[in-house]
Amino acid sequence: MRTRWWNNIRWRLALLSIIAALLSAGLLALTAMLVIGYYYNVDQQSRLGALAHERAQSVSIVYEHNRALIEDNSNTTFANRLKRIANTPNAFLVASIKEVSSVSSRQSGSDPEHLYLFLNTQKRLVYPLAMSRGNAFAVIQSLLNVSDTSHLSTDQATLMNAVNSALKGHGQGGFFGRQTPVDNSLPFFVEPITISNHTTRTNQVVGVVIVTPFSNAVPGFVSTVGIAVLSAIPVVALLVALLAMFYSRTITRPLAKLTTASRVIASGDYDAQVSVDAPGELGELAQTFNDMAIQLKKDVDELHRQEAWRRELIMNITHDLATPLTAIAGLGEALVDGINQSHEDYEATGRIIVRETLRLRRLVQDLHVMAKVEAGALEPKKKNVRLAALVDETLAVMATEFERHQVEPINAVSYSLPTIQADPDMLARIFTNLCNNSLHYTPAGGTITISATQHGNMAIIAVTDSGSGIPEEALSRVFDRFYRADNARQSKTGGSGLGLAIVQAIVSVHGGNVWAENIPGAGARISFTIPITPIEDQPTIVTNHLSQSRV
């Protein structure tokens, strides 16, 4: 399936990184401009306060000086002029303001950055004289081009509150326009002009001075910083995108390898492995994928083996059932047709029918046991078993088979061997299967010996025959189901091929191991282990459910 580019992890990561970088850089720029604007306004408000206080104090000093000239009856030209206007309202205040403004202009030149407006106690504009005597805000609006008419009433109220506060002797500042740190709002400060009242010995407010800048333009360094930050945003976004695309390869490349390996497995090749050196979760994912592929291969191989076993089972059962059934059917027809006339012939025919019937019963029993093994339902009922006695009983039951094959059974298990923890019936089945297997390959006059030794908390039990041994290539497969060294499957040289597989299953559920080997000069030996009963559980008297006869 073809993946569209916008669904590709690399491009999605790059786009998300660009968006995140733009948002982060924009937020950083906005924060920087907000902080710079805020502290710039704070600093400007502080400067306006200092300028207003300085100008108000200068006017106060000149006012006091002019009043002293009149009180001292000085005959100077300036004093005489002051006497003539002494009775005019606000004359002293205007004269003092003019003198201070004239001196300031001569000393440092006019201040082109700030506007100074002087109001009397009746809140009327008294200076500059060139302006119409009216509302101070109207003058500010006309001179500073305050065009935001939606805030006129608010600004008027703010200015009037500051003037009222100054007339009470308290300086106050504020802003014209919108109150956000990033707009073109104009700060102002109102400072009272006070003189000493000799009668009441208190300070008297004779007017106020309003100071505001002609422009609230952001300083050059603030604009430079803002432009630099805004210019850096696309560069940062581009770098972040490139880094994101490069870094995404560390994620997409291992994922691509995993995808390729998955497709190989999906095609039926379960040997696919992923070689990823990526650290962290991707490396762990790759290792888990490899473990999954290995386990999947094992499971598939096991399914193939099970399928092969199923086919072999059908084929072998068909063969093993057909041979005795054919013999029984043929002999039965002979009896019906009366071919055998003598008593000896009837006995021989009967013995053959019984032998083939017993062979069929053993085959059915073996299949039943293997069905339990496959279902995991083979559960031993363990008891304390005296091994020597159980071997005696098993050999006694098989005495007829040993006589027919002319093989001597030998019980070499010592009666002093401690009891073992086992299911007696299953253990008897082990000995029966092993002896039957050995009888097929032991020539007449040979021996089959059952022996046991103690090794720690386990008993090692061995069944050794005097036959020709097991071919080396068959040693590793003798416990496979339906495997026989005799590929021709002749009934006289082999059984169903399930006997040793059943032995292995029974030993396994008892917690032991089983193995086969050839003994030089002796034949084949099949050994297995069974746990020994703990010392405190050893019985003082053992009575077995079978007879105690010894062969």
The whole-number pLDDT of residue 337 equals 72
CB 465 within 8 A of CB 447: yes
The whole-number pLDDT of residue 43 equals 85
Q: Per-residue pLDDT tens for 483-508?
A: 665 543 344 444 566 788 889 999 99
Of 17-31, 132-146, 472-486, which range is least confident? 132-146
Q: Where does the pLDDT of residue 458 fall: very low under 50, low under 70, confident under 90, or very high at 90 and above?
A: very high
The whole-number pLDDT of residue 299 equals 87
Per-domain residue ranges of the chain: 1-218, 379-531
Which of 54-58, 76-80, 248-252 has the highest average model confidence (pLDDT)? 54-58
Q: Where does the pLDDT of residue 95 fall: very low under 50, low under 70, confident under 90, or very high at 90 and above?
A: confident
The whole-number pLDDT of residue 191 equals 94
The whole-number pLDDT of residue 389 equals 93
Whole-number mean pLDDT of the chain?
A: 78
CATH topology of domain 379-531: Heat Shock Protein 90 (3.30.565)
- Please give the residue that has the higher pLDDT: either 138 or 372: 372
Residue 344 to residue 329: CA distance in whole angstroms: 20
CB 138 within 8 A of CB 123: no
- Angle in degrees, 0-180, between the axes of helices 387-397 and 424-441, rounded to the nearest 10: 50
Residue 266 to residue 270: CA distance in whole angstroms: 8
Of 179-193, 404-418, 509-523, which range is least confident? 179-193
The whole-number pLDDT of residue 396 equals 93
Q: Per-residue pLDDT tens for 118-171?
A: 888 888 888 876 544 445 556 665 544 444 545 556 777 888 888 899 999 899
Is the pLDDT reported for residue 394 higher than 70?
A: yes
Q: Residues in the chain, how many? A: 551
- Please give the residue that has the higher pLDDT: either 326 or 4: 326
CB 125 within 8 A of CB 134: yes
Q: Where does the pLDDT of residue 542 fall: very low under 50, low under 70, confident under 90, or very high at 90 and above?
A: very low
Of 1-10, 63-72, 391-400, which range is least confident? 1-10
Q: Where does the pLDDT of residue 39 fall: very low under 50, low under 70, confident under 90, or very high at 90 and above?
A: confident
Q: How far apart are the first and last CA of the chain?
A: 76
Share of the chain above pLDDT 70, in %: 77
Residue 125 to residue 138: CA distance in whole angstroms: 10
Is the pLDDT reported for residue 22 higher than 90?
A: no
Amino acid 67 reads R
The whole-number pLDDT of residue 157 equals 80
CB 168 within 8 A of CB 160: no
CB 159 within 8 A of CB 139: no
Looking at 3.30.450.20, 3.30.1300.10, 3.60.20.10, 3.90.950.10, the CATH number of the domain 1-218 comes to: 3.30.450.20
Amino acid 471 reads P
The whole-number pLDDT of residue 420 equals 92
Q: Per-residue pLDDT tens for 251-307?
A: 777 777 888 888 888 888 878 888 766 667 777 888 888 888 888 888 888 888 878
Is the pLDDT reported for residue 83 higher than 60?
A: yes
Residue 446 to residue 467: CA distance in whole angstroms: 7
Is the pLDDT reported for residue 406 higher than 90?
A: yes
